[in-house]
Amino acid sequence: MSDTDLRGKVAVVTGGATGIGLAASLAFARCGAAVAVNYSRNAEAADAAVKEIGRLGVAALAIRTDVSNDGEVRGMMGRVAKELGGVDFLVNNAGWTKRVQPHSDLEGLTDDVWDRVWAVNVKGAFYCVRAAAPHMRQRGAGSVVNVTSVAAFAGVGSSMAYAASKAALTTLTKSLARALAPTIRVNAVAPGLIPTGFGGWIDVHWKATSAQTPIQRLPTADETGAAIFYLATAGGLTGQTIVVDGGLLTLGPAEGAAGH
């Protein structure tokens, strides 16, 4: 077990069975927190995550819930509180996207894409906070971390709608941090390109971005999970975003990189 002792605490991680979400789930579990691993389609990954968490000696629950469905989300939080004892941490990590590129293809950005990206990435995160908040208040404190993206700041990414949805979630992070203070803290982690396969990015993109990145590699899912865990447990912070992208957004391309 790590230095931070979260025994008796409960974390809900949406999309918690794969990639960045799995890394966050394991970070909580390593510190003794019980983890509710939310998923919408990949039951196999959720079962594997629950087994892995169980091997760390803490309780875990796989819960199938589409975060874009308010009724399902309320049911999920109720079930977590009942079966795991409460809700202390929420990581809004579930995300959806569809590549619509180049961004100049405005006709390709159909209503279907807009509606789904908004339903999952923005409304889904809001639904989860709304349903978790009463349970957190019952415990006297709570902490939420939203997973946004550098797309929110740079207008880059798999589609223009995706970038806009992550910008909305960035603003929502601040609005919720104000609205839920002082009992519940709300922060965000904005990953750059992380090699999970999300968004259809593949090794050729990973290599090109690594070369541009000041640290000359991409941050890993584990490093992103560690930043999520830090914000979730760092008592003095609310309304903040930490960018996990190896310095690319803040510093610009590495010296010597093409286009520098």
Ligand X SMILES: NC(=O)c1ccc[n+]([C@@H]2O[C@H](COP(=O)([O-])OP(=O)(O)OC[C@H]3O[C@@H](n4cnc5c(N)ncnc54)[C@H](OP(=O)(O)O)[C@@H]3O)[C@@H](O)[C@H]2O)c1
Q: What angle do CA 51, 4, 73 make, to 5 degrees?
A: 50
The reply to whether 193 sits near ligand X by the rule CB under 6 A is: yes
The reply to whether 66 sits near ligand X by the rule CB under 6 A is: yes
What's the length of the chain? 260
Candidates 10, 109, 120, 248: give the one binding ligand X (CB under 6 A). Answer: 120
Which candidate, 33, 40, 36, places its Cα nearest to that of 13? 36
Q: Does residue 227 contact residue 243 with C-beta atoms inside 8 Å?
A: no
For residue 6, give every residue at least 6 positions away whose Cβ sits within 8 Å of its Cβ, in sequence order, or none.
Answer: 28, 31, 32, 33, 88, 233
Q: Does residue 23 contact residue 244 with C-beta atoms inside 8 Å?
A: no
- Minimum CB–partner distance for residue 241 and ligand X (Å): 12
> In whole angstroms, what is the distance from residue 76 CA to residue 29 CA?
19
The reply to whether 147 sits near ligand X by the rule CB under 6 A is: yes
Candidates 89, 126, 153, 198: give the one binding ligand X (CB under 6 A). Answer: 198
Nearer to ligand X, 13 or 180 (CB): 13
Candidates 25, 40, 187, 238: give the one binding ligand X (CB under 6 A). Answer: 40
Q: Does residue 216 contact residue 206 with C-beta atoms inside 8 Å?
A: no
- Minimum CB–partner distance for residue 68 and ligand X (Å): 5
Give catalytic residue positions.
Answer: 162
The reply to whether 37 sits near ligand X by the rule CB under 6 A is: no
The reply to whether 93 sits near ligand X by the rule CB under 6 A is: yes
Q: Which stretch binds ligand X (CB under 6 A): 15-23, 83-91, 179-187, 208-216?
A: 15-23
Residues that bind ligand X (CB under 6 A): 14-15, 17-21, 38-42, 66-68, 93-96, 120, 124, 147, 149, 191, 193-194, 196, 198
